[in-house]
Amino acid sequence: MLTPERHQMILQLVKEQKVVKLQQLVERTESSESTIRRDLAQLEKQRLLKRVHGGASVLTGKGQEPTMIEKSSKNIQIKQQIAKYAASIVEQGDCVYLDAGSTTFEMIPFLI
């Protein structure tokens, strides 16, 4: 079996089963363990799957966190409700630390 065919089969199995054992991949592709390990390393490097002990799993979240702009444009009303409530329990003289985040950013106008 050619490498592209094997990669396609591996990705299909991971997509269907979410987690696939190395031995399953060896049997299904009729390849050696070392070949499958190399394939998994290459596919992980391409961010197409995640290697786990003894096999591979689906890559969750594409491996990259959304930007602040992307996060701040989602669930705005809920974030504002949370921010308003959180600000309402802050009393005069309290010291508040706000970490970076799209929900905590929404809290700032309620504290001023």
d(C-alpha 22, C-alpha 96), whole Å: 49
pLDDT at 67: 77
pLDDT at 50: 92
Q: Which of the residues in the chain have pLDDT under 50?
A: none
Same domain for 14 and 54, yes or no, is yes
Contact 30, 2 (CB under 8 A): no
Q: What is the pTM of this model?
A: 0.55
CATH number for the domain harbouring residue 34: 1.10.10.10
Same domain for 53 and 22, yes or no, is yes
Same domain for 97 and 53, yes or no, is no
Same domain for 13 and 38, yes or no, is yes
Q: Is the dihedral of CA 51, 32, 26, 48 positive or negative?
A: positive
Same domain for 40 and 84, yes or no, is no
Which residue segment(s) compose the domain that 24 sits in?
3-63
Q: Is the dihedral of CA 40, 42, 43, 46 positive or negative?
A: positive
Q: Provide the number of structural domains found in the chain.
A: 2
